[in-house]
Structure 1
Amino acid sequence: MLRSAQVVAVALAWTVSGPATALAEEITVFAASSLTDAMAEIEERFEAATGHDLVVSLAGSSALARQIQQGAPADIFISASPDWMDALQADGLLEPGTRFDLLENSIVLITSEGGMEPVDIGPGFDLGAMIGDGPLAMALVDAVPAGIYGKAALESLGLWADVSGRVAQADNVRAALAFVSAGEAPFGIVYATDALAEETVSVVGRFPKDTHPPIVYPVAEVANRDSESAAAFMDYLRGSEAREVFERQGFVVLPD
């Protein structure tokens, strides 16, 4: 059951529906909102293969990390930023030895206006002139990874001071994508994978990797929630089926 969550209160429970699923368990996964489409497909495939019930709660990585800090019963956390995973690790909230880097992503400038020629984002790029009165849709620039990466890229290019007053901040990257898709913002900065997921937007330009920190998605089991079913899902994330889903959604799957 896929849930888009700002507030999560899910209890771990045994599910018993017959002899074939007598050992089935519920696994609660907190995942960054940019993983929405990938996790929907992985949920379906994993449940069919194992009989376990995968409960996926989606939100900005910062919101999910804070919920875990407050005791929310997540079994696994997939973050769009190493920083939030580092914070949980520093608090002793991760199961030792379970953390690994799963995916990489990139950030792009998108629009819903048709017929626009691609631009080269680099020194001398006049984003302010392009967006005009704006707004420029972004995830929260001081809290949500996509917004943090986007702000870092704009600062690196010397563009932030010019456009910061025209930025419309959204709770997460999918909300920023929705602003552009609905025509509420002519341009936005989102992950490349988000742009692929929405047919009504197109990529205008790609931000060079050296303008922002590496966009890495770490995953780990939450402390004191260790179970065979959670370990099985961690193994599944490393397997060929999950790799195929992630790559088709535009992610780069990192080697073990």
Structure 2
Amino acid sequence: MPTLDRTSQFFAAFAEAPVWVRVGVFFAVWLLVWLPIALPLAAFLKWQPFKPLEVRQKLPLVASLYLLAPIVLWGVAWVQNLPFSSYGLFWNRQVFSSLSVGIGLGTIGLAVLFSLQTVLGWIEWRTESWPKLGSVLLPTLLLGLLVGVIEELVFRGFLFNQLLTAFDFWTAAIASSLIFALLHLVWEGQENVPQLPGLSLMGVVLCLAIGTDLGSIGLAWGLHAGWVWTIATIDSTQLMKPTENAPEWLIGTAGKPLEGVMGLLFLLATGLLLTPLRAILHAG
């Protein structure tokens, strides 16, 4: 049948297309599928792309976009005749073990970073905010898990792995991480520019986590979720604030540790921990 023949030819052409074509088609389709939802939401919330967003504006927009991602990814996998697990999401015990390790490493690492800054007198804790923790810990954990799994599926599971078909590990890691960082400007605009180096390095570390976990996104998902969980919890409770002695170039601004040198050093330290972690995760 002519229609089936044309469809088969399209699928074959897409599978054999240059990597940047496949990547471009994915993001274009994702955007087009989202537009019927995004346009009325943006009008209602009075949002303009590349302009800073308040939390009440950002959550509905990000949630609507991110919930569509697995559907589009499934479509791309179907067109390429690949299982969804090719994106690194395997529903087995090992993934959840790696996820747990990643959450622990992410949260403990930030706890060490903030403890050091406290000792140095660069940040202080608002004791009156401690009672708020009980009401936000679960919602921010769920937020971290959702953001973590979607962004890891898209930027490491899909984008990074697509680039690996044409480039070496480091080129694919750096390119995918730059795209990951630049796309954050959609939500925050120029205010997010100081975080671009940190977001790029974060992406590279998460690519290393994929390698450490032998292609699974479990560890990267856990790290990402742990970082989002910790930062979102602190930010939503206003639990921590910089002191007058805090140099912004070292610790970043409130809620944005990746703007500072210590945030970059924290990511480098996390990356160095990943190589010995492989033997622990996959022992036996």
Which bracket does the TM-score occupy, shorter chain normalised? Answer: under 0.3
Report which of the two structures shows the higher radius of gyration computed on alpha carbons. 2
What TM-score, normalized to structure 2? 0.25
Higher strand share: 1
